[in-house]
Chain A
Amino acid sequence: MKSFRPIYTLLFGVAAVFFFGLAYPHHLHYQEQYQLFLFDSAYVWEIVRLPGGVADLLGRFCTQFFLFAWVGALIIGVLLSGVQLLTSRLMGKGWLYGLSFVPSFLLWLFLLDENALLGGVWAVLLTLLASWDFDRLPSGWLRRVLLVVAIPILYWMVGPVCVVFFLLQAPRPKGSAVWYYGVFVLLAVLLIILSHHLPVPTERLWFGIHYYRYPTVTPVLLWAAALSVFVLTLIARACHKWANASSGFVVTLCSFLLVSIAMGCLVWKNSNFKAEKVMQYDFMARHQQWNRILATIKAEKPNNQIGVTVQNLALAMRGVLVDHLFDYNQNGIAGLLPDVESDATSPLPTAEAFYQLGMIAVAQRTVFEAQEAILDFQKSGRCYKRLAQTNLILGNYEVARKYLKALQKTLFYRDWANETLPLLGDEEAIALHHEYRSLRHSTYDEDFFFSDHVTPEMLESLFFSNTDNRVAYEYLRAYYLLTGDRESYAKLLLRSVEQ
């Protein structure tokens, strides 16, 4: 009944694809926007020169496809299925078969966290792949020599997760305890030597450099997934005769269903659908899907900061902000244009509002600060694109060119960069471009210092720089209504009528 196993793996993979494609797509978009994979040798070298670099590189390479959630879901499905298949092979046959899904489910749980990086999953997969390859080697001196050679190579490729490889190799060949413990000692010595030569914190050499976006956090679930493979193989070996005694279709199916239902419930329970909703609003704002936002808020009123900001932006873009302001949840002026915080996520929808309002320099700063706040020091395709746009609008063509040149080295932003590059310095072409012409026209005509806190004066100055700026008009009126400043509201109406 072995032939059914690929079907179980397929079922698991399909479930993962549907989960990430249908229930968690914006987590994938979120991941994509906090990295910028460049087809550039210097970029690749910066990654692979550190331990775990190959896994990290593969993770980043795959993450760029998360721009398209279903492709991202498919990649995750394949990776998780790969881990399951390898675990299954390492465990052997029997009714414990269902347990071979545990590491993959743990990795699934790990990936529910928006700060979990795909490089961690690749590290586990490559480790298991190496172990599986080694299992096929005959015992003897060649195997032992290769084991020693594999220590630095695997460590450099996948990082400290490779310890699982050595754990898995432990019992075989029998009687080679000296070799076995020797490799551990060698690994420890290697790490100590490395810590003296690599400019990274020592603890990250021990627990992983790029498995998780927060450099100081040890990803427990990832380690649990990796170590569970070793534990499961131990269980499988301990229960070898007993487990293999019953490996019929029903037993295998039952063990698969039992583990899948239990772990599946755990996955569902631990999924952060609130965060998914917030990310959805951010995604819709990023792609300027104003009608979709209006449809979404109609179905369910947003009750979080980002959702309210995006809701108000969409209403303003459609010219109905003031009409429908109080139909939805508000958070005072903080729901209109919140103060910019020093994190990578919350400023981006606000930056989108600044950009659409024509506060180009403010948008540029907000996007720049958000990108600088990415905790693992990566760059962002979304931010680079917006920095190129804002510099173009402000006439800083050489600066825009730098960002566009970088985007030319990407897979999915290249076409846009190629289309935009000819606009640099071409005033006539910019004047014909609907977005840039209008935003240039909408921006300030007088200079002042802007602050992190939006004031009515900033909006007034913007609106009276160009009274055709209807988005600014909507925001200004909404600002007065939300602050209860009826006098200013009346004056504004009077003044705009006069003009």
Chain B
Amino acid sequence: MKSFSHIYTLFLAVAMLLLSSCVNHPDVPSSSKEAGCLPAIFPDYCDVTVPCNIAPLNFMLPVGEFSKCVARLTTSDGQQQTYGKGVKVQIPEQDWHTMLNASKGKSIKVEVWGQKEGEWLSFNPFEIYVAEQPIDEYLSYRYIEPSYAGWSFMEIVQRNLTSFKETQIFNNEITMNDLKIGQCINCHSYQNYKTDNMLFHVRLSNGCTVIVNDGKISKVNLKRDYTISSGVYPSWHPTAKLIAFSTNKTRQGFHTLNPNKIEVYDLESDLILYDVETDSVSVICNDPDLLEVYPTWSPDGTYLYYCKSVPLPEELRDKDIRSTYQKVQYNLYRRSFDVASHDFSEEELVYDAASHDKSATLPRISPDGRYLLFAEGQYGCFHIRHNDGNIVCLPLDDSDAVLRAQEGEETPSDVDLSNFNSEGMPDSYPSWSSNGHWIMCSSRRDDGNFCRVYFSYFNNGKVEKAFMLPQKDPELHISLLKSYNRPEFMIEPVRISVEEFSKVF
């Protein structure tokens, strides 16, 4: 019995130690030297505007330069708390959400002290503005090494944005039955931010498109005799059981010197419409000389927006695309759609990017239909590999702006996205939250190679400073050797398990 009491005491001591190590409320340094600048925290959360339901914005000071960090957070109602352990500031979720609730429509003041070579420095305080509008509760993305042609383990996961919980939707291991060819999973897509109707592609081993229709899983082959490939980039119609896809014959080139490293280009691409209920595929447009890609529906489903290349100059048309790829540019078009007859109208130009020597891709219409967000670079269709790739926003309700854009005048954006875009690093794959108040992109801005997710607050055409997807351990985004690929907002989680998905194969 005596030995048991020893074990019990030891267990209690360890438990207490563990509990005490979970939350640390250090004292603010009694004396410090003023640094006279904002702290160089990672991620940079200085003066950002965040949703009222976001997970804690944990951050850290640079390891090596600093040995300790203390942060004092003060809400507008005067509540204060300090955090800091080592160089990291990790705020418990409950504390954080209490602070957010108290600061809705106001801000949280953050004071940071850092210990450098034994001396405490106090930095200029900054604010975290708390918007009244929440962000969609879930985000899904694919984890993948920023690869060339090969890949290893990949998974599509969903992250609860109000916490740090991350769960797997599918992986490329569970149904891979041929190691020699491997398996690629990609292009997860949802209807109207909901997950009862969704899809993702499985390529090579056990290749198919997995479609969830009102919660029922099936696998389909979208390749038809008259299409150049199976479905590639998808977009669910917001109300009908219809999915617009591009079909692509895609190739890659690898640079020897260009910092863009990899070029992704299409030899051919068309648009198709897939009817989920009847398993039928119809062609939307398939101009043999031009490339149509990246379909996306307007929120009311009455228009299909997409990108289409402009004809190459006569002298370049018969040349190998490996020598002409820098001349391939895309404009934005749209066609009106009759959901009853499935008929599309003639196309109309929405944005003439080529006229000012640019190429526009990945259009996304805001949920209120007032704004058009897209990625733009100098050429091509894969701006996440282009250092000049940026996100552009056009107001669609401003007919003058659209007209100017159509006429190719120098109006790349009526909405100032300088707070959202990075300088000289690829930003691409933009999207809107379901309430239209948060815009998101995938960006290589931190190192030029590994994609991270950035959000910005959007309110009536005004865009606030972008902030990185928060993580429990702020160092994760420094050490993680994977990219966040194709981030998509969802208002609910995918409830189907990996194992249930795997049964469809």
Contacts and interface: CB of A to CB of B under 8 A. Distances in A.
Interface of A: 195-197, 199-201, 214-216, 342, 359, 361-362, 365, 368-369, 371-375, 377, 379, 396, 398-399, 401-403, 405-406, 443-450
Q: Which 7 A-B pairs have the closest CB atoms?
A: A398-B447, A449-B253, A447-B257, A377-B153, A372-B150, A199-B498, A369-B150
Contact of A399 (B150, B256, B449, B502): B449
Contact of B257 (A196, A361, A379): A361
B152 interface: yes
B150 A402 contact: no
A372 B152 contact: yes
Contact of A447 (B177, B179, B258, B499): B258
Nearest to B252: A449
B149 interface: yes
B263 interface: yes
B174 interface: yes
Contacts of A362: 254, 256
A200 B257 contact: no
B256 A215 contact: no
A392 to B, nearest CB: 13
A448 B152 contact: no
A342 B447 CA distance: 27
B147 A368 contact: yes
B148 A402 contact: no
Chain B interface residue bracket vs A: 35 or more
B322 A374 contact: no
B450 A445 contact: no
A404 to B, nearest CB: 11
B448 A398 contact: yes
A449 B322 contact: yes
A444 B257 CA distance: 7
Nearest to B144: A372
A449 B254 contact: yes
A373 B145 CA distance: 12
Contacts of A443: 257
A396 B502 CA distance: 39
A200 B497 CA distance: 12
A449 B174 CA distance: 35
Interface string B403-443: 00000000000000000000000000000000000000000
A368 B449 CA distance: 13
A244 to B, nearest CB: 38
Contact of A444 (B145, B153, B256): B256
Contacts of B147: 368-369, 372
A398 B449 CA distance: 9
Contacts of B153: 377
A473 B85 CA distance: 56
A402 B450 contact: yes
Given A214-B179, A361-B261, A406-B481, A450 B256 contact: yes
B174 A200 contact: yes
Contacts of A196: 497, 499
B81 interface: no
Contact of A402 (B155, B254, B479): B479
A201 B178 CA distance: 13
Of the listed residues B151, B173, B263, B502, the one surrounded by the most CB atoms of chain A closer than 10 A to its CB is B173
A405 to B, nearest CB: 6
B173 A200 contact: yes
Contacts of B152: 371-374, 377
A402 B171 CA distance: 25
Given A195-B499, A361-B254, A403 B150 contact: no
Nearest to A403: B481
A141 B255 CA distance: 70
B499 A365 contact: no
Contacts of A361: 254-257, 261
A215 B168 CA distance: 20
17 contacts: A195-B499, A199-B168, A201-B173, A201-B502, A361-B255, A361-B256, A369-B148, A373-B152, A398-B446, A402-B449, A405-B478, A443-B257, A444-B256, A445-B257, A446-B256, A447-B255, A449-B322
Nearest to A446: B257
A375 to B, nearest CB: 6
Nearest to A377: B153
Contacts of A369: 147-150
A445 B147 CA distance: 24
Nearest to B180: A342
A199 B448 CA distance: 32
A444 B258 CA distance: 11
Contacts of B255: 361, 447-450
Nearest to B481: A402
A402 B448 contact: no
Contacts of B322: 449
Of the listed residues B145, B149, B152, B502, the one surrounded by the most CB atoms of chain A closer than 10 A to its CB is B152
A368 B151 CA distance: 9
A472 B46 CA distance: 50
A254 to B, nearest CB: 46
A379 to B, nearest CB: 8
A199 B155 CA distance: 10
Interface in B110-165: 145, 147-153, 155
Of the listed residues B152, B155, B256, the one surrounded by the most CB atoms of chain A closer than 10 A to its CB is B256
A151 B366 CA distance: 55
Contact of A368 (B148, B175, B447, B450): B148
Given A361-B255, A361-B257, A396-B447, 15 more contacts: A197-B497, A199-B168, A199-B174, A216-B177, A342-B150, A365-B254, A373-B152, A396-B448, A396-B449, A399-B448, A402-B447, A445-B257, A448-B255, A449-B254, A450-B254
B179 A215 contact: yes
Nearest to A359: B256
Contacts of B497: 196-197
Contact of A365 (B148, B174, B478, B502): B148
A446 B153 CA distance: 34
Nearest to A214: B179
A41 B318 CA distance: 56
A62 B259 CA distance: 39
B18 to A, nearest CB: 14
Contacts of B263: 449
A401 B448 CA distance: 12
Interface string B437-466: 000000000111110000000000000000
Given A396-B448, A447-B257, A199 B148 contact: no
A377 B155 CA distance: 12
A346 B180 CA distance: 15
B450 A215 contact: no
Interface string B270-286: 00000000000000000
A278 B243 CA distance: 52
A460 B497 CA distance: 54
B377 to A, nearest CB: 17
B498 A399 contact: no
A499 to B, nearest CB: 21
B107 to A, nearest CB: 31
A161 B255 CA distance: 48
B254 A373 contact: no
Contacts of A372: 145, 147, 150-152
Nearest to A447: B257
A399 B447 CA distance: 6
Interface string B477-505: 01101000000000000000111001000
Given A361-B261, A396-B449, A448 B256 contact: yes
A447 B262 CA distance: 12
Interface in B84-107: none
Contacts of A449: 253-256, 263, 322
Contacts of B450: 399, 402
Of the listed residues A342, A403, A406, A449, the one surrounded by the most CB atoms of chain B closer than 10 A to its CB is A449
A448 B326 CA distance: 12
Nearest to A373: B150
A449 B173 CA distance: 32
Interface string B175-213: 101010000000000000000000000000000000000
